[in-house]
């Protein structure tokens, strides 16, 4: 899965480069509340700037449905990037068109131009080849650098289509790092290898579970998805989240996995889906009919942590409970601590898992915190990602 990177490009001075970044950052009243994704691509942008390339940087932001939406403009990103790079960053009024072409023509060596939200054009998500050609022509690019792993599972004009209209297509440093660590988890793990999977639904992680089962030494399940498996074992689950149409699939996965697939032994249950609801900690085979499981319990936390700490490789995706509510966050926070204490290689992917390690100040103790939620799951499930496949092999 190794790909050529910006390091493999010859003299970049004066080269016009189309960079696809993932600047899909959270905004509040036009203000960026978390610039992690911007910072993640700084090594690539800084390398290209110092090499004297002329950069046109594209990204999407949010999910605009009817053309341009001022609230989803990349202007705040351009301002933040200028502060972080310490150099001038220009903001284009669009991502294609004569004004963009003029601004691209005026770029000098080491200059950076941020293109406006590519999803303001419906042709972006359609991967319209004419739109992809315009993106390249109006930015005058001869090289495509994809550093947006989080969107690499989408065959869009700016993530895949542009590769057909340039001379070279390579990975940025963030893309390289994602492929190296997630490739380790998917294809060449050290042992013992432990995967921790949580979140709401089994259906979101079927391919990942099936692909990882032959490779892992233990697969630890938590979150809402655990209740579909517990129902498959014949346990009463009260009002806990269960995907009724996936119970038979869960039963087959349990048979296939044998002792590798571990389920919670106890759980924190509540009378309602509310932070201040009455709650109890019970064995998983005990739950009042009108109650629901909202977190793994202390016995499970201890057992899972004991599996994680000595592992040579750990991959974690998905919360162990309703992480947004403090009374049901301990399982997720405990997994974050266990990964940080692990002596092996630790990889975290998925919004709530990333939020947990970040909230606890543990991100710097994790070997790799992935920027790709859906992309990392599809990759680990064995899928070929269009935004990766279009890049030159090493």
Query: Checking DSSP bridges between strand 193-197 and strand 168-171, what pairing results, if any?
Result: unpaired
Residue 258, domain CATH = 3.40.50.1260
**Residues identified as active-site:** 37, 201, 351, 374
Q: Are residues 199 and 304 in the same domain?
A: yes
Domain count across the chain? 2
The terminus-to-terminus CA distance of the chain in angstroms comes to 8
- Could you give the CA distance from residue 117 to residue 114 in angstroms, rounded to a whole number? 9
Q: Are residues 368 and 311 in the same domain?
A: yes
Q: Which of 108, 139, 173 is the last residue of a domain?
A: 173
Q: Per-residue pLDDT for 98 more than 80?
A: yes
Query: 10 Å Cβ neighbour count for 204?
Result: 17
Q: Per-residue pLDDT for 363 more than 90?
A: no
Q: Where are the alpha helices (DSSP H) in the chain?
A: 36-40, 42-50, 75-85, 98-105, 122-125, 129-139, 173-187, 206-212, 225-232, 247-257, 298-308, 330-341, 351-359, 373-380, 386-389
Residues spanned by the domain of 48 = 6-173
User: CA dist 91 to 5, 54, 278, 375, Å?
Assistant: 26, 14, 52, 28
Residue 46 lies in a domain: yes
Query: 10 Å Cβ neighbour count for 166?
Result: 18
Q: Are residues 212 and 349 in the same domain?
A: yes
Q: Are residues 191 and 315 in the same domain?
A: yes
- Could you give the CA distance from residue 143 to residue 162 in angstroms, rounded to a whole number? 9
DSSP 104: H
Q: Are residues 301 and 322 in the same domain?
A: yes
Residue 387 lies in a domain: no
Residue 219 lies in a domain: yes
Q: Per-residue pLDDT for 389 more than 90?
A: yes
Residue 388 lies in a domain: no
- Could you give the CA distance from residue 157 to residue 135 in angstroms, rounded to a whole number? 8
3-state SS, residue 100: helix
Q: Which of 112, 144, 173 is the last residue of a domain?
A: 173
Which distant-in-sequence residues (6+ apart) come within 8 Å of 362 by Cβ?
336, 337, 339, 340
In this prediction, residue 1 carries a pLDDT of: 67
- Could you give the CA distance from residue 40 to residue 22 in angstroms, rounded to a whole number? 9
Confidence of residue 361 (pLDDT cuts 50, 70, 90): confident
- Could you give the CA distance from residue 81 to residue 77 in angstroms, rounded to a whole number? 6
Residue 361 lies in a domain: yes
Query: Tens digits of per-residue pLDDT, 158-175?
Result: 999 999 999 999 999 999
Q: Are residues 307 and 368 in the same domain?
A: yes
Which distant-in-sequence residues (6+ apart) come within 8 Å of 257 by Cβ?
213, 219
86 φ, ψ to 5°?
Answer: 75, 20
Q: Are residues 147 and 206 in the same domain?
A: no
- Could you give the CA distance from residue 248 to residue 260 in angstroms, rounded to a whole number? 18
Confidence of residue 372 (pLDDT cuts 50, 70, 90): confident
Query: Tens digits of per-residue pLDDT, 110-123?
Result: 999 999 999 999 99
Confidence of residue 11 (pLDDT cuts 50, 70, 90): very high
Q: Which of 157, 173, 189 is the last residue of a domain?
A: 173
Q: Are residues 156 and 198 in the same domain?
A: no
Confidence of residue 65 (pLDDT cuts 50, 70, 90): confident
- Could you give the CA distance from residue 336 to residue 381 in angstroms, rounded to a whole number? 23
Which two tokens mark 48?
A: 């290209």
Q: Are residues 160 and 185 in the same domain?
A: no
- Could you give the CA distance from residue 196 to residue 296 in angstroms, rounded to a whole number? 13
């Amino acid at each position: 899965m190794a790909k050529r990177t910006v390091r493999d490009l010859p003299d970049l001075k004066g080269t016009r480069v189309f960079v696809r970044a993932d600047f899909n950052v959270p905004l509040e009243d036009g203000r960026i509340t978390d610039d992690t994704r911007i910072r993640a691509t700084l090594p690539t942008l800084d390398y290209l700037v110092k090499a004297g390339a002329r950069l046109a940087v594209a990204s999407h932001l949010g999910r605009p449905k009817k053309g341009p939406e001022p609230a989803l403009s990349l202007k705040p990103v351009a301002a933040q990037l200028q502060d972080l790079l310490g150099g001038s960053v220009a903001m284009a009024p669009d991502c294609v068109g004569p004004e963009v072409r003029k601004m691209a023509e005026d770029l000098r060596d080491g200059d950076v131009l941020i293109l406006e939200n590519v999803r303001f054009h419906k042709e972006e998500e359609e991967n319209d080849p004419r739109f992809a050609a315009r993106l390249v022509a109006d930015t005058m690019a001869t090289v495509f650098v994809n550093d947006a792993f989080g969107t690499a599972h989408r065959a869009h004009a700016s993530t895949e289509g542009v590769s057909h209209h340039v001379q070279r297509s390579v990975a940025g440093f963030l893309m390289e790092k994602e492929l190296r660590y997630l490739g380790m988890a998917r294809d060449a793990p050290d042992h013992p290898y432990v995967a921790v999977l949580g979140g709401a639904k089994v259906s979101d992680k079927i391919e990942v579970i099936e692909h990882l089962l032959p490779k892992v030494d233990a697969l630890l399940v938590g979150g809402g998805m655990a209740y579909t498996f517990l129902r498959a074992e014949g346990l009463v689950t009260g009002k806990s989240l269960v995907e009724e149409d996936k119970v038979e699939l869960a039963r087959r996965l349990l048979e296939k996995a044998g002792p590798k697939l571990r389920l919670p032994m106890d759980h924190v249950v509540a009378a309602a889906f509310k932070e201040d609801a009455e709650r109890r900690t019970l064995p998983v085979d005990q739950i009042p009919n009108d109650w629901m499981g909202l977190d793994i319990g202390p016995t499970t936390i201890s057992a899972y942590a004991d599996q994680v700490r000595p592992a040579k490789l750990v991959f974690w995706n998905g919360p162990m409970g309703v992480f947004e509510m403090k009374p049901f966050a301990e399982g997720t926070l405990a997994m974050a601590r266990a990964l940080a204490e692990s002596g092996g290689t630790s990889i975290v992917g998925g919004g709530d898992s990333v939020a947990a390690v970040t909230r606890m100040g543990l991100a710097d103790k994790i070997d790799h915190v992935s920027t790709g939620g859906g992309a990392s799951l599809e990759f680990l499930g064995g899928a070929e990602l269009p935004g990766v496949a279009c890049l030159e092999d090493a």
